[in-house]
Structure 1
Amino acid sequence: MADFDTLIRGTLVTEAGTIENGYIAIRDGLIRLMGTGDSPAAGEVLDFGDALVLPGAIDPQVHSRSQADQEDFIWSTRAAAAGGVTTIVDMPYDAGKLISTPQMLLEKAESAGAQARVDFALYGTINAAHGTAHIAGMAEAGAAAFKFSTFETHPERFPRIATPLLYEAIAEVARTGLIAGVHNENDECVRAFSAAVKAAGITDYRAHGASRPPIAETLAIAEVYEIARATGAAGHIVHCSVGRGYELAEAYRAQGVDATIEACIHYLVLCEEDDVSRLGGKAKCNPPIRGRAEREALWQKLAAGAITVVSTDHVAWSLASKSHKAMLDNASGMPGLEVMTSLLLDGLTERGLPLSHAARLMSGNPARLFRFSDRKGALAPGLEADIAVYAERPRLYDPAESGNTVVHWSPYEGRLIRHRPIATFQRGRMIFDGKTVLAAPGDGRFVRPTRAARLASEAA
């Protein structure tokens, strides 16, 4: 009788480095043994040669339900499985519903669970009308983090949380042991600069970056970290497009603040001059994609270890909502789940950077950030066997070709992408074979953080 259910062979990529001719032995959905050279017996042996074997990616920022009757978890998690992403962390700003009470969070977990093909965790947020009353309850219900915004995208679905209430909310989150993630754009700045852009009659691709200049980001980042410092909270910036933002995070960490910061894959891959100029509304996101200099500054910060996690900020808007001639009339956000991991591996390879960055930024750090690293986020005995395998198979990316995305457009369409997922495993079971997503709706599980909320009575 075989000692293990499945054995995977290949080049193992961990946070500590790369292991050639390595193997992972799996039993009952968990990694039980790792090594090199001769391997133990298993019921199924999958030898991927010199292909890269990484821990399944954890996307820290996904918007599955931003547009009603569009994507939902049925499609977002399908794209995830096809992209080597085994866990998504979904945002609380759903169309027609702000996930801001324990009951709403539990209802979302149940409905998402019926659709999800990969595992998922959930952000919660607050409704200003309720104040901080439901934060502890949402933590108990299984929220992995809390999200707030310093900019008002929509007064009901995506509201601005004014500074006094933001302070109270982050202080309350600190008591739960979870992170307080914040959308970092100063509301007053964006509104003033947007008015100036409109008054100047600028409507082309330049309008978006000019309406949200870097100072709008950095002022909001400083506000968040100052509140984290004052409250003892774990303050997380959910996306940063400028190098100065990462310098602020480093400075606050040096002062003892739990200051983390996230880079979206589009900030590392695209730039205003080459990409936003030709893509127009398809490349509109908040904060905006910056110029080449800022893109390269972000790679320098990545190499130095200043970036905590990499995400997609994935949202699959319909093409109609991204095709307006006036740049500012377009919806903000773009799909990326199917290609995030491939694009990061390409960037690391092109720049001669260690592939261990990918294991840290897309798996290990996200698992630690959302408090479930005791189960996920690494190739290590005792953890769930969430694994993704990549080979160098260059192709011009066609988002319509695979059938794994609900929309057939992408800002990366036509781009030469070298790395390609050839297999994805969830708890040792293959859920993507390189061509077809094998996971069915309902196969994914709701992931709750391990670190439980501390109620007032317990903290006293």
Structure 2
Amino acid sequence: MSDFDTVIQGRFVGEDGIVERGFAAVRDGKIAMLGSGTAPAAKDVHDFGDAIVLPGVIDGQVHSRSQKDQEDFIWSTRSAAAGGVTTIVDMPYDAGLLISTGDMIREKARSAGEQARVDFALYGTINPAHGPIHIAEMAEAGAASFKFSTFNTDSTRFPRIPTPLLHAAFTEVAKTGLIAGVHNENDECVQVWSEAIKATGRTDYRTHGESRPPIAETLAIAEVYEIAQATGASAHIVHCSVGRGYDIAQAYRAQGVDATIEACIHYLVCSEEEDVSRMLGRAKCNPPIRSAAEREKLWQHLAAGHITIVSTDHVSWGIERKSSPVMLENASGMPSLEVLPSLLLDGLADRNLPLTHAAKLLASNPARLFRIADQKGGFGLGLDADFAVFTERPRYYDPAASGHNVVGWSPYEGRLIRHAPVATFLRGDLVFDGTNVLAQPGNGRFVKPNRVTPAIAA
């Protein structure tokens, strides 16, 4: 009789290298043995041949509850499991509720836990009327990170945090050992330039990018890192669409600032002239998708190791919220949890870049960033046995056909995607078999950070 519950075999791709004919043996949901060649016996054996085995993907930016009575964790975590994502980090801007106290973190963890099919961690934020007084209690309640915005998306649900208050919040976050993540757009610039665009009477796809040009991002990024330098906080830019932003992050890192930065998958895959022109409101997001030339700058930064993590900024707006002929009237954001790792693997292959980038950007670095690397994010003894298995299975993506998305649209609809997930394991259990999501609501667990600041891999 075997001592192991499960053995998984395949081409193991970690951040430090690739093990051909690798294996992981699982006991009680944890990785208990790693090796190559002949695997030990187990009650359940999954041999994936030369398929890619990644650590379970951690999506560091998900909005499960942005639209009331729409997606929720029931569907976001179903899409996640179907895409190879075993942990989502959910944003604090829920419809009708700003997650900004310890009790709110605990209640969201409880209610999400009843629905989630994969594991989840939670961002907290502050209510500008209360200031930073609840930051310590949110950390005690298990928040993995804190989110702020330099832009006023919505005064109640997604408010701007003015500079002096942001400084005060960073001061308190620094005491927790967690990150201060920031939506990086200068409010004054965007407000003025948006009104100027509206005054022209134009409604075309270019108006969105023109209302939020790159300088709006880079001004905000510099402000965030300057506050981090002054307070000692770990500052994280939650999405950057322009190469200049990664240059700025590198400069502050060289000065000793803990300056991390995130690329959403749509900035690496889409361009304004090729995709926004075609998809219109379905491709509207903040910051905007930029030019093909700017997209290639991001790939250069990725190859150089200047991007900390890659995420989705996933939100499943109803198509009615994305269909206005007036570009600026559409809701911002798009669903992409089901295809995040597949798209990144395709991009790496297209550019002859090492597959190890996928393990680092989608698993190991996110685990370190959110202070859960003692639990997840890699191939290590004692870590959760989370795995995502991919093979080349080219198909034209149809988000409505899989049955794993609450909405039947996607910015990637009709795109040829070559890599496909064939299995997802969460704590050793098969939660997606390549066709069906097997995990039921309540299967996912709330992941709390260890609050010890780790080094992010370059």
Distance 1:110 1:306 in 2: 36
> What is the TM-score normalised by the length of structure 2?
0.98
Cα separation, 1, equivalents of 2:344 and 2:85: 13
Q: Is the 1:139–1:452 contact (alpha carbons within 8 Å) kept by the matching residues of 2?
A: no
Q: 1:174-218 CA deviation, whole Å, 9 max, x = no partner?
A: 000000000000000001111111112221100100000000000
How far 1:3 sits from its partner (Å)?
2.6
Q: Counterpart of 1:404 in 2: which secondary structure? A: coil
Aligned residues: 453
**What is aligned with 2:114?**
114
Moved over 3 A (4+): none
Q: Distance in 2 between matches of 1:436 and 1:372?
A: 28
The alpha-carbon distance between structure 1 residues 451 and 193, as it changes in their structure 2 partners (threshold 3 A), is same
Deviates more, 1:34-43 or 1:248-257: 34-43
SS at match of 1:182: strand
Look up the match of 1:458.
none
For residues 452 and 345 of structure 1, the distance between their equivalents in structure 2, rounded to whole angstroms, comes to 30
Q: Deviations over 1:61-118 (max 9, x none)?
A: 0000000000000000000000000000000000000001111111111000000000
| Aligned twin of 1:456 | none
Separation in 2, partners of 1:59, 1:153:
22
Alignment of 1:125-274 (within 5 A): 125-274=125-274
User: Offset at 1:21?
Assistant: 1.0
The separation in 1 between residues aligned to 2:104 and 2:33, in whole angstroms, is 40
Specify the alignment match of 1:31 in structure 2. 31
> Retained in 2: the 8 A contact 1:139–1:176?
yes
Identity of aligned residues (%): 72
Aligned to 2:357: 357
- 2:449 is aligned to 449
Name 1:429's counterpart in structure 2.
429
Report the Cα offset of residue 35 of structure 1. Answer: 1.0
1:306 maps to what in 2?
Answer: 306
Whole-angstrom distance in 1 between the partners of 2:82 and 2:341? 10
Q: Which runs of 5+ in 2 are unaligned?
A: 454-458
* Aligned-partner residue type, residue 450 of structure 2: T
Contact kept? 1:263, 1:310, Cα under 8 Å: yes
**Corresponding position of 2:407:** 407
RMSD, matched Cα: 0.8
Secondary structure class of the residue paired with 2:218: helix
Q: How does 1:306-325 map to 2 (within 5 A)?
A: 306-325=306-325
Gaps of 5+ in 1: 454-460
Distance apart, 1:160 and its partner CA:
0.3
In structure 1, C-alpha distance between the alignment counterparts of 2:22 and 2:105, rounded to whole Å? 41
Preserved CA contact (<8 Å) 1:119 1:444: yes
**Superposed CA offset, 1:118-154 (max 9, x none):** 0000000000111111000000000000000000000
Q: Do the aligned residues in 2 keep the contact of 1:205 with 1:327 (CA within 8 Å)?
A: yes
Residue type of the alignment partner of 1:209: G
Normalised by the length of structure 1, the TM-score is 0.98
8 Å CA contact 2:371–2:452 kept in 1: the answer is no
CA distance in 2, matches of 1:195, 1:418: 42
User: For 1:411-450, what per-residue CA distance to the aligned partner results, in whole angstroms no more than 9, with x for missing partners?
Assistant: 0000000000000000000000000000000000000001
Separation of aligned partners in 1, 2:235 and 2:38: 45
Corresponding residue SS for 1:107? helix
Displacement after TM superposition at 1:452 (Å): 7.1
2: CA distance, partners of 1:185 / 1:203: 21
Paired with 1:131 and 1:14, the residues of 2 have a C-alpha distance of 41
Work out whether residues 82 and 432 of structure 1, in 8 Å CA contact, stay in contact via their aligned partners in 2: yes
- Greater shift, 378-387 or 148-157, is seen at 378-387
Aligned-partner Cα distance in 2 for 1:28–1:205: 52
Give 2:18's aligned residue. 18
For the 8 Å contact 2:310–2:361, the answer to whether it is kept is yes
- Amino acid across the alignment from 1:50: D
Code of the residue aligned with 1:370 in structure 2: it is F
- Name the amino acid aligned to 1:394: P
Name the SS of the counterpart of 1:440 in structure 2: coil
What residue is the counterpart of 1:294 in the other structure?
Answer: 294
SS in 1 for 2:395: strand
Q: Secondary structure at the match of 2:106?
A: helix
Q: Structure 2 matches for 1:386-397, cutoff 5 A?
A: 386-397=386-397
